[in-house]
Amino acid sequence: MGRQTESLDKIANSNKLQELTSLTRMILFASQTATDLDVQFPKYLLELALGAVLEEMHAVASTPTTDGR
């Protein structure tokens, strides 16, 4: 059961990283649009959101699986 749990943990982390990567792309697109429209406050908020998502990605990537890896 240990190997199966380890595999499921890796898959879950991989799926979460894929979803966070997609979210990052959307935020970057919106941020560029805000820049093009010269709207500063939305641009600032999108930069904060991007930082938060990148921190989450780092946390997911750093989370050890059940076998300690």
Region for 39 from its dihedrals, namely left if φ exceeds 0, alpha if ψ lies in -120 to 50, beta otherwise: beta
Would you say 45 and 53 are in contact if contact means Cβ atoms under 8 Å apart? no
What confidence category does residue 7 fall into, taking pLDDT thresholds of 50, 70 and 90? confident
- What are the boundaries of each domain within the chain? 24-62
Taking only the tens place, the pLDDT of each residue in 15-49 is 999 999 999 999 999 999 999 999 999 999 999 99
Residue 2 has pLDDT above 80, yes or no: no
- Mean pLDDT to the nearest integer, 39-67: 91
- Give the pLDDT confidence score for residue 12 in this predicted structure: 86
